[in-house]
Amino acid sequence: MTKTRKAREHLLERIKSMKANELLPRERDLALELDISRSGLRQALSELENERVIYRVRGKGTYVSDKQISKHTFITSFTRDMIDRGLVAGTRVLSRAQALAVGDVARDLDVPDGTLIYSLQRLRLADSEPMCIENVQLPAELFPDLLREDLDTSLYNILQSRYGIEIAFTRQTIRAIVASAEQRRLLGTPRTAALLEVTRINFDARHRPIERGVSIYRGDRYDFTFNTNHQN
């Protein structure tokens, strides 16, 4: 067994006893512990990263992946969702701006307070009728000049085609809310209408948060369906 292969097996054993998103020791310390060169260790780490056993965050280190989320969560864009429902998707940009991440936004995007982000608000349409209000924040560092793009189209297509970044998995929360006057105006709903608030954090294959979104859906026009696999 080569040293790289042996290091990989030792790393796998170590990772089995670690929690998701727990930080691994520094490469220098791992190389000494496993009696392997830094280049050999990096090869073993790269193999594990390709298998999504670990992920790396630049300037922070190497972490244990949340493998359950990576394997079983699937992403559907609003455009794709509307097509699947037999509806024609549309978008109207309400605002686009640069902003500074603070509070929950900074936490969810895993950036320090004061980090430059892009903030985007769009009204999403189905067969030309309002379906949801979408508020999105993205790290400006990852998507330079994003606000110059045609944001009336699919945002995820832009992230992939222009910046080479794809969504790997999503962490999502859904709750019922009482509509504000502005939300009622944009969505064309009465005061008593039910709305669904969907908060999502989208991650790339390196487990970097790349987008935070809060979408407000009309409860009378939209529902969520989940498929669950039950295992004994």
Q: Looking at the structure, tell me whether residues 97 and 50 fall in a common domain.
A: no
The domain that holds 78 is classified in CATH as 3.40.1410.10
Q: Looking at the structure, tell me whether residues 9 and 46 fall in a common domain.
A: yes
Tokens 């300037």, residue?
Answer: 59
Are 123 and 186 in contact by the 8 Å Cβ rule? The answer is yes
- pLDDT confidence of residue 68: 40
For residue 209, tell me if it sits in a domain: yes
Q: Looking at the structure, tell me whether residues 61 and 93 fall in a common domain.
A: no
Q: Looking at the structure, tell me whether residues 48 and 152 fall in a common domain.
A: no
- pLDDT confidence of residue 231: 43
Q: Looking at the structure, tell me whether residues 14 and 109 fall in a common domain.
A: no
The pTM score is 0.65
Per the structure, how many domains does the chain have? 2
- pLDDT confidence of residue 213: 95
Are 131 and 124 in contact by the 8 Å Cβ rule? The answer is yes
Q: Looking at the structure, tell me whether residues 94 and 200 fall in a common domain.
A: yes
Q: Looking at the structure, tell me whether residues 10 and 125 fall in a common domain.
A: no
- pLDDT confidence of residue 217: 93
Q: Looking at the structure, tell me whether residues 98 and 7 fall in a common domain.
A: no
| Full domain range(s) for residue 198 | 73-218
**Segments of the chain scoring below 70 in pLDDT:** 1, 58, 66-76, 225-232
Tokens of 78: 């609003």
Q: Where are the alpha helices (DSSP H) in the chain?
A: 3-16, 27-34, 38-50, 67-72, 78-84, 103-109, 155-163, 181-187
Residue at a domain's end among 30, 50, 66: 66
Q: Looking at the structure, tell me whether residues 125 and 161 fall in a common domain.
A: yes
Amino acid occupying residue 5: R
Tokens of 92: 């109207």
